[in-house]
Structure 1
Amino acid sequence: MKVSAREIVRLLNNRHSEDIFVDECKNGPTWFGSHLRLDAWVMKRKWSPITTIGYEVKVSRSDFLNDDKWQGYLQYCNQFY
C-alpha cells in the first residue's frame, strides 16, 4: 500500500490537534521570488519554552535522497523531521 504525502500531513494534523498546525507553511510571500515551503509547521501549545516543529514529508526514496532544501528549514523550527 502506497501512502500519499497528503495522508501523512493529515495524520500529523491529527497528532497535533491540540497545537497550532499549519500545512504548506511558507517563509515569505509567494510574489517575491524564492521561498521555502514546509509540508507542515507546528507551534506547541505551551509557552515556556516556545517549541516549533517542522515536517518535510518524503514518500519516495529518490525524493529523500535528492532533497537539498532541508537545511534552509532549520532556522524556522526547534525540531525538524
Structure 2
Amino acid sequence: VIPAVVLPEPAAEPVPAGDVDELYGLAVEAVRERGRGSVVVLQRKLGIGFTRATKILDQLVAHGVLGPENASGSHSLL
C-alpha cells in the first residue's frame, strides 16, 4: 500500500509594489496606530467597504506589515 502524498497549500502570491491600493499608506498608519489590523479597523479608519478593506488587509499581510490572522480575526503588527 502506497501512502497518499499530501502537498502543502500554495503560499499567497506577494502583491507587486505597483499594485497597491491608493489608501495603502493610510492603512499602514491606521494599523500602526492601533497596534493590530483587521477588516473592521480599516473600514472604520478609512471609511471604506468590506471588499476594499479585505484587499488592503491582504496587501498588508503580503508586504509583511501584518502577521497571519489570529483566532479573533485580527492580525498582529510585525
Using the size of structure 1 for normalisation, the TM-score is 0.27
From the CA coordinates, give the structure whose radius of gyration is larger. Answer: 2
Q: TM-score, normalised by structure 2?
A: 0.28
Q: Which has the higher contact order (CA 8 A, sep 6+)?
A: 2
Higher strand share: 1
Identify the structure with the greater helix proportion. 2
